Amino acid sequence: MNNKHIKTFRTRRYFVMPINEKLMIDGGEPVRKGPWPRRMHVDYMEFAEVMGVITAAAKDPEKLWRTGGPKVKEFEESFAAFHGLKYGVSSSTGTAAVHLPILALTGIEQKLEPGSEVITTPITDPGTVMPIILHNLIPIFADVDPLTLNITPESVEKCITDKTRAIIAVHLAGLVVDMDGIMKLARKHDLVVIEDCAQAHGAEYKGKMVGSIGDYGCFSLMAGKHITSGGEGGMTITKTEEAWKNLHYVARSRWMPHSEIGSGIPWPLLNYRMTEMQAACGIAQLPKLPSIVSRRRELNRRLEAGLSRLSTVKPSKIVEGSKPSYWFSMIHVDTSAIRVSLDRFAEALGKEGIPCGARYIAIPMYEFGFIKDRQDRYPWTLPDARKGIVYKNSCPNTVKALNSVITVELHEGCTEKEVDDIITAVKKVEAHYAK
């Protein structure tokens, strides 16, 4: 074969194998034929912890729920300590973990009144935004950095009004928000800061664990996250004993006087308790988190080095002083430099054997029906709500980011070969579609 038909790529310490010019999507041979590695992060440790709960429950069924057994309390304390704090409150899901501070702030503390504005990101899971609307608060969407998909202090500052009461900073995909800037704004304007760390277990910012910087840190423990508490679960950590007690109250787990149970409860509350079996699984998972995050960082450093020399794609930007935990990896495509759509580029990459998808979500959060189709109703029409809020065209970087990002599944169960296959496949697709 003539040298002009051989594509090679060199990074610092390794070579990527030559690639076939013809794309798999056009009938060529794929870069990778074998299956992608599966995550195998549940083993005998979880089995032993959960069986301990079941064994105890065989003698006393009360041991299955949080007020009857020791596991939930142990997990809460261990999780908070891992993040350098004393106080943690578990819940049934990650959405519940975000909901608990909103419940406490609107009910017990009364810091968020109907019509108050909460600034957050337009690129997130609906679970970040739903609790805002459910409590008659107004979501305000700050624009993102296209190479992190996270809000920036500059974009947040533009959104602050005399109605602003809180900021929910989402560390998307384990990439960290510039928290110094966010906290500076919060102190200046007396705002509550909630960190949504659903995808950022073990990420760090200037020597602190994410979730420990703001007033509250909220984590999802569903099966696909870095660690899980038996398939579903959530955790909210906080700095003060008062906030901790209030979170317990609204989760209906502890610190609720008997006189306020039933008809005596002064606020509408839900049951967000975690079970003992969920906590037992979480206890076994938590010690695994450092090695999971460390391995993901190693693999992504290799990926970032490999992508840095390509012409049409870039790796994500890392905020100065931060250490991401990479729930998934992102490839940012300069769509002005390719001859096909982002969807076609991602499809071709997928056909080469790389598990990937175009965009993280298809549209900004404010284009979802539960916001777009409801702005003629509460909370937007509340007498105390600010008039004239317009979401359309408010976040141009968000639209740009969503239309240029490809997400890739790269986890601790992968090896250097998977990283090299991603690099080889991206280069192969780029060679075909670059202008």
How far apart are the C-alpha atoms of 300 and 347, rounded to whole Å? 22
For the chain, helix (H) and strand (E) counts, in that order, are 13, 16
78: its two tokens: 């261990």
Selected residue with higher pLDDT from 183 and 66: 183
Domains of the chain: 44-288 (3.40.640.10), 289-433 (3.90.1150.10)
Verify cis geometry, omega within 30 degrees of 0, for the bond prior to 379.
Answer: yes
Greatest Cα pair distance, the chain, in angstroms, is: 85
pLDDT tens per residue, range 111-122: 999 999 999 999
Give the mean model confidence (pLDDT) for residues 222-238: 96
Please name which of 141, 192, 184, 133 lies closest in space to residue 165, comparing C-alpha atoms: 192
- Is-contact 67 220, C-beta < 8 A? no
CB 426 within 8 A of CB 303: no
179 versus 256: the higher-pLDDT residue is 179
Give me the mean pLDDT over the 382-389 stretch.
Answer: 93
Question: What pTM value is reported for the model?
Answer: 0.92
The pLDDT of residue 67: 84
Mean pLDDT of 383-412: 95
3 state SS of 124: coil
Tell me the pLDDT of the chain averaged across its residues: 92
| Cα separation values, 3 from 7, 340, 424, Å | 8, 27, 17
Exposed / middle / buried, residue 65 (Cβ in 10 Å: 0-12, 13-18, 19+): middle
Q: Among 4-8, 137-141, 338-342, which is the least confidently predicted range?
A: 4-8
